[in-house]
């Protein structure tokens, strides 16, 4: 049987990678980590943070609430506590729609 190359999926991301992904400063990620209980990155002995995909998804939801919907930090905390599942569902729908739109724009450019 031939060896199949599997695509290696990254399990942990540095704070710099997360900040670049969200297009924000690393200090904002650290601030949100202090303010929101749902973000718990792993830290090594040196104090470097390692974020999982779940942490990144939670940060994207916080970004959506604070930056896109205009909630204050306290308002976003309240939304996450009372309506986390609803906001998460809405966020996921919006993300999928953005992906579909990007695909359609790419398809249009190829025509």
* pLDDT (tens digit per residue) in 3-31: 555 566 788 999 999 999 999 999 999 99
Confidence of residue 33 (pLDDT cuts 50, 70, 90): very high
- The partner residues of 94 in beta bridges, in order of sequence, read none
The predicted model gives 33-53 an average pLDDT of 91
User: What's the total number of domains in the chain?
Assistant: 1
- What are the tens digits of pLDDT across the range 62-90? 998 899 889 999 988 888 877 655 666 67
Sign of CA dihedral 8, 95, 89, 15: positive
- Is the residue at 28 inside a domain? yes
pLDDT at 2 over 70: no
- Angle, CA 54 vertex, CA 83 and CA 78 arms, to 5°: 25
- Is the residue at 3 inside a domain? no
pLDDT at res. 9 = 78
pLDDT at res. 79 = 83
* Percentage with pLDDT > 70 across the chain: 86
What is the residue range of 85's domain? 15-110
- Is the residue at 24 inside a domain? yes
CATH number at residue 78: 1.10.1660.10
- Is the residue at 9 inside a domain? no
- Is the residue at 41 inside a domain? yes
DSSP per-residue letters across the chain = -PPPPPPPPP--B-HHHHHHHHTS-HHHHHHHHHH-TT---EE-TT--EEB-HHHHHHHHHHHIIIIIS---HHHHHHHHHHHHHHHHHHHHHHHHHHHHHHHHHHHHHH-
Scan for tokens 């939801």, then name that residue: 61
The predicted model gives 40-53 an average pLDDT of 91
This prediction has a pTM of 0.68
- Is the residue at 23 inside a domain? yes
- Is the residue at 81 inside a domain? yes
Rounded Cα gap, residues 19 and 104, in angstroms:
27
């Amino acid at each position: 049987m031939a060896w199949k190359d599997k695509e290696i999926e990254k399990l942990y991301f540095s704070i710099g990678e997360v900040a670049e992904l969200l297009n924000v400063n690393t200090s904002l990620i650290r601030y949100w980590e202090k303010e929101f209980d749902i973000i718990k990155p792993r830290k090594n002995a040196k104090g470097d943070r390692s974020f999982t995909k779940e942490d990144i998804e939670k940060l994207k939801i916080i970004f959506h609430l604070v930056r896109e919907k205009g909630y204050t930090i306290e308002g976003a905390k309240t939304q996450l506590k009372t309506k986390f599942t609803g906001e998460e569902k809405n966020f996921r729908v919006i993300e999928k729609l953005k992906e579909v739109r990007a695909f359609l724009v790419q398809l249009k450019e190829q025509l």
